[in-house]
Chains A and B, each alone.
Chain A
Amino acid sequence: MTATAPPKAASGRPDSLRLLLNNTLATAGLIVLGVIVLIALAAPILPLPDPNVTAPADRLLPVGTPGHLLGTDALGRDMLSRLIWGSQISLAVGVAAMLIAAFFGSLIGLVAGYARGRVDNILMRGIDMMQAFPYILLALAIVAVLGPGLLNALYAIAVINIPFFARNVRGVAIGYARREFVDAARLSGKSHAQILFGEILPNVMPVIVIAMSTTVGWMILETAGLSFLGLGAQPPQADLGSMLGEGRKILFTSPHVSVIPGLTIFAVVMSINLLGDGVRDVLDPRLRSGALARPGARTKVDRDDVPAQPAASDTDVLQVRDLRTEFRIGSSVYKAVGGIDLDIRQGECVGLVGESGSGKSVSAMSIMGLVPTPPGAIRGGAAYLKGEDLFAADDERIRGLRGNAVSHVFQDPLSTLHPLFSVGDQLIEAIRVHQPLGRAAARDKAIDLLKRVRIPNPEERLKAYPHELSGGIRQRICIAMALANDATLLIADEPTTALDVTVQAQVLSLLDKLRREHSTAILFITHDFGVVSAICDRIAVMYAGRIVETGPTAEILASPAHPYTSKLIDCVPVLGQPERRLDAIAGRPPVVNNLPPGCAFAERCPKAEDDCRTAPVPMFARGPERAVRCLHPMDDTDADT
């Protein structure tokens, strides 16, 4: 299930812009910001009264007074005019500070990233020092040295934002400094400055622009803050911050004098942030593919049909009928599992075999609803555990079965164990979810389990964290956890794939022993026929979401009927048979959002005929235990007739 974005939205500027405009909030931000900037820029040509002419007779007129739309301040100056001129100053100062910070910060970052070594070290230690201050302290210290004033406030705000640019730019520049085109430029005799500004800077530019857009609103806010404190713009000059600061003294009698400039600052910063978030969302491919969606506790079941329940005897543990699981990403539907049947009896080990992407894991995870929703959903079929329809059971019932009657062992034990809890805590937790035991009793049981999977010093190991253990021990712990509640069905999803060969053999013999002693049924998922022959009684071979061949292990290994099975078996190297031909299967499995009408393997199949491609191929029974989904199986000698 590789998350491929729909091709239409893959690239192209017009598309990105349209996506941005689809985002209502971002569009609103763009409009508000545009209006404010236009009005501020147009201040000289708008019919506004002089913002600095005082009129003591007209002081503190309220909002809505004719001639003074937003009223007047304590000196009778027109608020609207002061607001527009003040916005112009605030915007200009914020943008200027941003440009200064971007220039020096990017320069430091470029040089540090390109030079590396000692220069990098010294520059970045300096940046670290600057970030050791809460940023406003540094700004206040700078203003203390230079004295209050709008320009000095601008410098202070620019300086405290230099580290942000320096860090971001260095991070990217360091990557480019090692690339081939930089080496090539150096060999062609270009100077360091030419390489820095001619070769590296153009590549780093997007990062600088993004950093600019994320900091500009912030810098407008901070310069306004310094002015508010009386350390920025000095009268008669006024920016939004100093207007707010002056208005504060008459807050109780005339709140409009301070509330209106504050509202303007807020509107500017908010619209910049809305726009910035919108741009970020458009640029983030993960959002589009739905990869950021939160998986629910259980796979959504949305079946269009429920197959008739098969007769179940006492030894039948799991009966899967026509299971179909799909992923919906954007407008594409990926039919990961396209209708499979599967039966597992008590004490039996059934192997589900196929290449990666064949749907074997998704089939296994569908049984207990562990396929992430979104984007996955069970669209049809049924899974009966001892006669109980699992897809019809309520969430609480499924939770009660998970880890209890049905347990799982996954592929990579490092990522499947929680890194922040000791293995003992995780094991004890698994026991106590389903058994009414005290902590001490559960701990004893955990030690027993570790002994059962033959881990030495179990008491000691309980305290260990997953990262402190070897891969083999970690996987044994996962198996111990799966055995905690004497499951009737164990679903093992490539449990040996991430392990060394010797450890693989130990884990396999462990699983084999456990099912013989406790008659646990095992569904064993793997891509490796070598592993299959070691443990499985029966095999189901999967390709492109369907089972293509099923039967007893020995029979299939001896005489595979489906060309795909035969190819898979040929992939297994055998010791002592160096003359054996190791064949990779040419071509790639089809993408399951666009399956052909006929046999999905036909494109890669040496025996494919025209009839393979026209219509879906049904399963053909070959004796009581075997079946194959093929019109021209391997032993079919009269294929040409």
Chain B
Amino acid sequence: MALYIAKRLLAAIPVILGLTVIVFLIIALIPGGTAVAILGPLASAEAVAELEAELGLDRPIFIQYFEWLGNLLQGDLGRSYILKRPVLDEVLERFNATMILAGTALVLCSIMGLLAGVVSAVRQYGWADKTITFIVLIGISMPAFWLGLLMILVFAVNLRWFPVSGMFAVYGGGDLPDLLRHLVLPAVTLAIVATGVIARMTRTSMLEVLRQDYIRTARAKGLSERRVIYLHAFKAAMVAVIPVIAVQAGFVVSNAVYVEAVFQWPGIGTMLVNAISTRDVVLVQGGVLIVATAYILFNLAADVVQTMIDPRLR
């Protein structure tokens, strides 16, 4: 198993290197160049040239890339001109907030999706199945940013159960209960829109597995129906569901951008949107790189879990 993990890690290195090339090119490809992007279209030609020399942008692009990569390996992602602080510090701070939100949502949507999918499969064509299928369809079609606004209107403004926005109360907050109170609405919003795909895949996969010969064997052995479904069928169904959960992680992180905007959650999504408006490309670069790397590593972890469940993959 350790060997397998090591192999997968090695295989991830070229992907991450490719990622750095793409992310680096984002800066290099900006029309008019980085200096113009930073200084604005009204800057004088001298000022632009001066800044380009200062940033080393007048040298060949591959030299710039390797220099940038070298800095990256030392943990230097550059400096944000707008925020006047190192990109890595800002990104890591925001990354934490996003992980709390997206991580909670991913756990929630996995649990809800698996439950809904199994119930739906076991009660195929029954009223529970029909209800779940319809709710799932609503969830899949729901824009996260709109659902977030509705949640705020109902649960924060009308019922006053949860705070409207932010990650901590402005006065006197900062502890775990405070964080949890702020987390509920954005995390639930995010989970609702992400549940549908997992529920559908679980249902399909369970129905597929329940027709297999080894399920007939389990029944022929005299196992209880509960054991047949929740142990034998569910374990086999998970093999197909886990890759879908990994894909959904990307979906959750993507929709976190909208949800963060709605709930003013101080995560990487709001950071990126602001950075794009202020044309702070170095910050965009750093943020994209860190999140994409985390996503690749998460997918790798999902592969490892799948291999642990399915001995045939070893």
Contacts and interface: CB of A to CB of B under 8 A. Distances in A.
B218 A295 contact: no
Given A230-B273, A265-B146, A295 B211 contact: yes
B155 to A, nearest CB: 13
B77 to A, nearest CB: 15
B221 interface: yes
Contact of B254 (A128, A137, A433): A137
B310 A420 contact: yes
Interface string B213-255: 1111111111111001000100110010000000001110111
A144 B34 CA distance: 12
Contact of B207 (A134, A294, A298): A294
A148 B277 contact: yes
Contacts of A478: 217
Nearest to A433: B222
B contact face: mostly helix, strand, loop, or mixed: helix
B223 A433 contact: yes
A133 B140 contact: no
B222 to A, nearest CB: 4
Interface string B171-211: 00000000000000000000000000000000000010011
A479 interface: no
B23 A141 contact: yes
B284 A270 contact: no
B292 A137 contact: yes
Contacts of A272: 141
B309 A136 contact: no
A149 to B, nearest CB: 11
Contact of A266 (B30, B142, B218): B142
A145 B143 contact: no
Given A217-B141, A266-B146, A416 B254 contact: no
A419 B250 contact: no
Contacts of A401: 222
B288 interface: yes
Contact of B220 (A402, A419, A468): A402
Contacts of B251: 134-135
B236 A433 contact: no
Contact of A129 (B19, B30, B235, B236): B19
Interface stretch (B51-59, B82-90, B257-265): B257-265
B80 to A, nearest CB: 13
Given A230-B277, A410-B216, A420-B309, A128 B15 contact: yes
Nearest to B144: A225
Interface string A139-165: 011011111100000000000000000
A407 interface: yes
Interface stretch (A2-10, A98-106, A254-262): A254-262
A144 B217 contact: no
B143 A133 contact: no
Contact of B214 (A136, A297, A416): A416
A294 B210 contact: yes
Contacts of A417: 214, 217
Interface in A242-263: 244-245, 248, 251-252, 255, 258-259, 262-263
A128 to B, nearest CB: 7
A416 B217 contact: yes
Given A262-B149, A415-B213, A134 B292 contact: yes
Contacts of A429: 221, 223
Contacts of B311: 419-420, 465, 467-468
Given A229-B258, A294-B124, A419-B310, A133 B295 contact: yes
Contacts of A270: 137-138, 141
Interface string A455-499: 000000000010110000000001001000000000000000000
B145 interface: yes
A442 interface: no
Contacts of B235: 420-421
B276 A418 contact: no
A181 B258 CA distance: 49
A597 interface: no
Given A277-B137, A297-B228, A258 B217 contact: no
A164 to B, nearest CB: 12
A225 B218 contact: no
B310 to A, nearest CB: 6
Contacts of B149: 244, 248, 251, 255, 258-259, 262
B152 to A, nearest CB: 7
B145 A228 contact: yes
Nearest to B270: A229
B26 interface: yes
Contacts of B23: 141
Contact of A255 (B29, B153, B214): B153
B69 interface: no
Contact of B213 (A248, A251, A407, A416): A416
A416 B214 CA distance: 4
A408 interface: yes
A419 B236 contact: yes
A133 B285 CA distance: 13
A434 interface: yes
A259 B210 contact: no
B313 to A, nearest CB: 10
A350 interface: no
A229 B138 contact: no
A445 interface: no
B304 interface: no
B18 A141 contact: no
B157 interface: yes
Interface string B115-145: 0000001101100000000100110111111
A418 B231 CA distance: 11
B272 interface: yes
Contacts of B257: 136, 140, 225, 229
Given A251-B149, A416-B214, 20 more contacts: A128-B15, A132-B296, A134-B249, A137-B292, A145-B26, A221-B143, A225-B143, A228-B258, A251-B153, A259-B146, A262-B146, A262-B150, A294-B124, A372-B211, A399-B223, A399-B225, A415-B212, A416-B213, A419-B311, A465-B311
25 contacts: A25-B134, A134-B253, A135-B251, A137-B291, A140-B272, A144-B272, A144-B279, A221-B143, A228-B258, A245-B145, A251-B157, A266-B142, A294-B121, A295-B210, A399-B225, A402-B219, A402-B220, A403-B221, A410-B220, A415-B214, A416-B214, A421-B232, A433-B223, A465-B312, A481-B221
What are the 3 closest A-B residue pairs judged by CB atoms, nearest first? A262-B146, A136-B254, A403-B222
